[in-house]
A = this chain, B = another copy of it.
């Protein structure tokens, strides 16, 4: 809702959230465990749904699941497309589609971020399998 926050500040906030969201896909693409560890919230309780899998709850379990995934990830870029950012004061929700390499996006993702110590950190990730992959578009992000 951002009562009383200027549109310039809102744009800066959205840009910061999109940057945090981008850092997640960058860490994924580079199989960078240290970056993945850094970007998850350190104080708030975190949770993650990997595609088609049950909930992973808590920072240690979530990071262990990513270490496992990144160790076995096929080489190639994990893309995030059509990102839409909603900022709710100190929390932000990003919806987007995820694709690997040059393939059409095959996953729908919800990423939630929380502002901790001035940084937008990931507090929740939910990736679900799409029945029909989303063709690639030229737009990389949208705001509302």
Contacts and interface: CB of A to CB of B under 8 A. Distances in A.
Interface of A: 1, 43-45, 47, 49, 51-55, 57-58, 82, 84, 86, 88-91, 93, 95, 97, 108, 110, 112, 114, 116, 123-124, 126-131, 134, 144
12 contacts: A1-B43, A47-B93, A51-B128, A52-B129, A53-B131, A55-B82, A55-B97, A55-B108, A88-B114, A88-B123, A89-B91, A90-B91
Given A126-B126, A128-B51, A90 B93 contact: no
Contacts of A126: 108, 110, 126, 128
Contacts of A108: 49, 53-55, 126, 128
A42 to B, nearest CB: 11
Nearest to A94: B47
A80 B136 CA distance: 34
A110 B112 CA distance: 10
Contact of A44 (B58, B82, B88): B88
Nearest to A96: B55
Contacts of A54: 97, 108, 130, 134
Contacts of A55: 82, 84, 95, 97, 108
A114 B1 CA distance: 10
Contact of A129 (B44, B110, B129): B129
